[in-house]
Amino acid sequence: MQQIPKLKPFQTPDHYFEELPEKILAKTSRPKVNPSWPWAAAAVVLLGFGLWQAGGFYEDKPVLVSPEEEALLYIESEQWSTEDVLSLSEDPNALLDQIIEEEYAKSAPLWTEEETWF
């Protein structure tokens, strides 16, 4: 122990402890934010969302289709049968004739008038 040199006791600078709190606060102090700013931002977001909901911007617009297209959609979805469609017509026989003409016009004729098949 006697070999260890004797050091001078530690001395603090003059007025160190009196000035310390002020120095710490100066380094850590931040500019104060207006406490109403976050509330105002939240209010703007909620107001915008409310107007968007009330304005109907998210609603799907109906697709306009002709009566013929609507009937075809019912038939293709199998909600209407052939009998249902024919019962809606004023002249079912004329409707059937028209359908037959349209279907056979798409395909080649099976025979011509000059051919005799019997």
3-state per-residue secondary structure call for the chain: CCCCCCCCCCCCCCCHHHHHHHHHHHHHCCCCCCCHHHHHHHHHHHHHHHHHHHHCCCCCCCCCCCHHHHHHHHHHCCCCCHHHHHHHCCCHHHHHHHHHHHHHHHCCCCCCCCCCCC
Compare 92 and 47 and report the one with higher pLDDT.
47
Has residue 73 got a pLDDT over 80?
A: yes
Distance (Å, rounded) from C-alpha 3 to C-alpha 7? 12
Q: What is the mean pLDDT of residues 75-92?
A: 80
Q: What is the mean pLDDT of residues 10-25?
A: 86
Q: How far is CA 50 from the centre of its chain?
A: 16
Per-chain mean pLDDT for the chain:
78
Compare 13 and 1 and report the one with higher pLDDT.
13
pTM as predicted: 0.29
User: What residue spans define the domains of the chain?
Assistant: 67-106
Count CA atoms within 13 Å of residue 105 on its CB side.
6
Distance (Å, rounded) from C-alpha 72 to C-alpha 99? 13
